[in-house]
Structure formats: C-alpha cells, structure tokens
Structure 1
Amino acid sequence: MNILIADDEKQMVKILSAYFQKEGFNTITAVDGEEALDLFHLHKIDLAILDWMMPKVSGVEVCKYIKENSNAKVLILTAKTQNEDEIKALNCGADEYIKKPFDPRILLIRAKKLINISDVININDIKINTDEQRVYKNGEALKLTKIEYDLLISFVRNKGIILSRDKLIDLVWGMDYEGDYRTVDTHIRRLRSKIGEDSIKTYRRLGYSMEADEN
C-alpha cells in the first residue's frame, strides 16, 4: 500500500515515514502541496497524510483534489486549534483530522483504521498479530528473526506487487544500508523455509512478490 506523506517540516516527514515503513507500507513523501499533487499523479495512493499549512498549495486544497479524483483516504494534520478549522477540514473531504503535536503511534493506529488494516492478518495458513509481532503457521508459533518478520510484513502490506531488491532494502534495512544486496535473497530463502516455499514468488531480474489470497 502506498502512503503519501506531505508536510513542510522535513523532520516530521522523516519520522512518520519511518513509522509507516516499519509496518511494511510504501511511503511517498513531499514537502509542499505542489509536490504532493505531482506525486499523486505518478502513484496509486491509498492514504494521503497532509499538513494543512504547506507552501505553494495548502493541504486542504490538495485534499479536495485527491477526494475529487480518487478513492484515497485523506488525513489532515494541523497546528490549528479552532473547532471551525476541524469542520473546514472535514468539509473539504478529509476522512480524519489530527491536531499537532501528536504521538505518531496514535496517528498510525488511526491511519490503519482508515484503510481497514487490522492488527491480525490471516493469509493462507499464516496468521500475523502485528500488535504483538508474532507469526503463526497452522496455529503454531514461528520463530522469525526481526529481518524475517519485517520482510513478511512488507510482502503482506504490498501483496500482489513485485518488490525489487532495492525496494526491500529501503523497507526493511533502510535507505542508508550499504551491505551486499544478495543478503535479501538469503533472508527470503530463510523466510520461505518457515512460512512455505510457495508463499513468495520470484520474478527473474525484477524481484519478489507475495500473491496468496488474504482471508
């Protein structure tokens, strides 16, 4: 799933992006409303998190455009405290409204509710409790390393999408990773041995994808 995060506070964008990537979401970031609209046209967005007061184009205007041209959910962030401002944000089509400052964990919970993401995911004979970070196969707990768990979540959150090694590095190891890219293949091989060899499909020269039907 693609999450668009737009805020002129670069540190805020970095923090929120890290929280969503940890949950396996693909984040697309912008620092002003104009860039947010450009990215909206380039990607299929499932959820947009927009700061109200952005340069060039306000978050409210970006919200209006997104709601008029897609089915994406929109969450507005703002330092404004008046009730009239909350009403204005909701009237422009926003699905949720959060006042700054806020706990990123609260935002993550509300965002997941907007896009109907449960804390428990069932996919074939695998059950994932994301709140406890536990994985079960046919009811039996699996012992996954942190890397294996993060890989599994990334595949589940992007089910049906081919993820390249570069994308998996960004999602699991982080953009600053400088190690051998073949480590991706090694960890996927280990993950397959635990959840099932056919669970993750290899696309030669493209990457990997989980295409199982989610319950």
Structure 2
Amino acid sequence: MRILIADDNRDMLRILTAYFEKEGYEVHAAEDGEEALAVFYREKIDLAVLDWMMPKRSGIDVCKEIKARSDKKVLILTAKSEEEDELKALSIGADEYIRKPFHPKILVLRAKKLLGDERFLRYKSLRIDLEGSKIFREGADLQVTKTEFGLICCLVRHKGRILSRDQLLDLVWGVDYFGDARTVDTHVRRLREKVGDHLIQTHRGLGYSVEADDE
C-alpha cells in the first residue's frame, strides 16, 4: 500500500517515513502542500498523512482537494489543540485527526485502522494475512501451506532472534510433536523458494532467523 506523508519538518518526515517503511508500506514524502498534491495526482496512494500547517498549501486545503477528487483516506496532524480545529478538520472530510506530539507507533496503528490493515503482518516485501492464513508478495498469493504460514509468522514475530529447530517445532508444530527436528529444514527450504532465499537466515548449529528491522 502507498502512503503519502506531507510535513514541512524534515526530521518528522524522516522519522514517520522510517516507521511506515518498517511496516512494509511504500512511502511518498512531501515537504509542502503543492508537492503533496503533485504526489497525489502522480501516485495511486491509499492514505494521505498531512500536517495542517504547511507552506504553499495547508494540510486542510490538500485534504479538501483529495476528498473532492477521490475516496482516499486522509489523516491530519496538527499542533493545534482547540476542539473547533478538530471539528473543522473532520467537517472538511478528514478521516482522522492526531494532535502533536504523538508517538509514531500510535500514528501507524491509527493508519492501519483507517486502511483496514490491522489483520495484516508486514515484513520486508511480504504481507501476511493473519485471518486468511495467506502470504502475499507484491500482491501475489504465494500459496503457502499451513505449516509454512505458521513458520513465517513465528520467525517474523521473533525477528532479530535465532530460533533453534526445537523451538520452531514447539512453536509451529506443537509441543506434542515428536518428529525429527530436521523436518524444520525441509519446510524452511520450501518456504524460501516462495518468499525468497534472502529473507530467512541460517545460523549453522543454532537455527534460523529473520533480521530485525532498523529502529
């Protein structure tokens, strides 16, 4: 999914871009209202995150134009604290309103809620449908098995940690499974063929991991 983030504070823009990209979103950044609208018309965005106070065109003006020409979701960021300002933002079509300061993780969660993306887990190029037990890469269903799905979910939820074969057997196959631990190797090999060799790392004599995202 594509996110437009517009804010004239470059540090804020950099931080928010990093947090959204960490969740697997494609981010298009803008530093003023005119640039934000140029991105909107050029890219097929799914959500616009707009700072209220921007040069050239305000976030409110940009929101009005986006809403007049599409059904895309808009989230307004502002340092304003008056209730009438929130009412103004919502009355011109904004779907959400967040006051500064805020934690970037809160913004990402609000954005996911707007997009109906809460049931998805994201890692690198993968989009993991937790309800449908499916894995997508660049929109394509990778047709994974139930065990392969459980394996990638386990690794992603423990990203940055090496999980031994025995740990993976307990977490994915269940503690009552008494098969050969080498079955993990077979399933990892098949999973790599679908998600890409580079995503799952082998640690000889230790186990497997996926790398942690940069904070």
Structure 2 match to 1:161: none
Matches within 5 A, 1:97-176: 97-120=97-120, 121-122=129-130, 126=134, 137-139=145-147, 141-142=150-151
Matches within 5 A, 1:1-215: 1-120=1-120, 121-122=129-130, 126=134, 137-139=145-147, 141-142=150-151, 193-194=190-191, 197=194
Greater relative CO (CA pairs within 8 A, separation 6+): 1
After superposition, give the CA deviation of every residue in 1:147-180 in whole Å (9 maximum; x if it has no partner).
xx8xxxxxxxxxxxxxxxxxxxxxxxxxxxxxxx
Structure 2: any 5+ residue segments left out of the alignment? Answer: 121-128, 137-143, 160-187, 197-215
> Secondary structure of the equivalent of 1:114?
helix
Q: Is the 8 A contact 2:6 2:30 kept in 1?
A: yes
Q: Cα 1:125–1:97, aligned 2, differ >3 Å: closer, same or farther?
A: closer
Equivalent-residue separation in structure 2 for 1:103 and 1:145 (angstroms)? 26
Which structure 1 residue ranges, 4+ long, deviate > 6 Å from structure 2? none
Task: Please provide the CA RMSD for this pair.
Answer: 3.0
Structure 1 match to 2:201: none
Q: Is the 8 A contact 1:137 1:195 kept in 2?
A: no
Q: Is the 8 A contact 2:6 2:49 kept in 1?
A: yes
Q: Is the 8 A contact 1:112 1:118 kept in 2?
A: yes
Q: Tell me how far 1:196 sits from its aligned partner.
A: 5.5
- Structure possessing the higher radius of gyration over alpha carbons: 2
AA matched with 2:88: K
Q: In percent, how many aligned pairs have the same letter?
A: 52
Structure 1 match to 2:209: none
> Secondary structure of the equivalent of 2:24?
coil
Q: Is the 8 A contact 1:4 1:27 kept in 2?
A: yes
Q: Tell me how far 1:125 sits from its aligned partner.
A: 5.1
After superposition, give the CA deviation of every residue in 1:103-150 in whole Å (9 maximum; x if it has no partner).
11111101000000024424875469xxxxxxx95156326867xx8x
Equivalent-residue separation in structure 2 for 1:192 and 1:60 (angstroms)? 51
After superposition, give the CA deviation of every residue in 1:76-102 in whole Å (9 maximum; x if it has no partner).
000000000000000110000000000
> Secondary structure of the equivalent of 2:89?
helix
Q: Is the 8 A contact 2:119 2:130 kept in 1?
A: no
> Secondary structure of the equivalent of 1:102?
coil
Equivalent-residue separation in structure 1 for 2:87 and 2:37 (angstroms)? 23
Q: Is the 8 A contact 1:75 1:98 kept in 2?
A: yes
Q: Which moved more, 1:62-71 or 1:137-146?
A: 137-146
TM value normalised by structure 1: 0.62
Q: Is the 8 A contact 2:119 2:131 kept in 1?
A: no
**Number of residue pairs the alignment of both structures matches:** 151
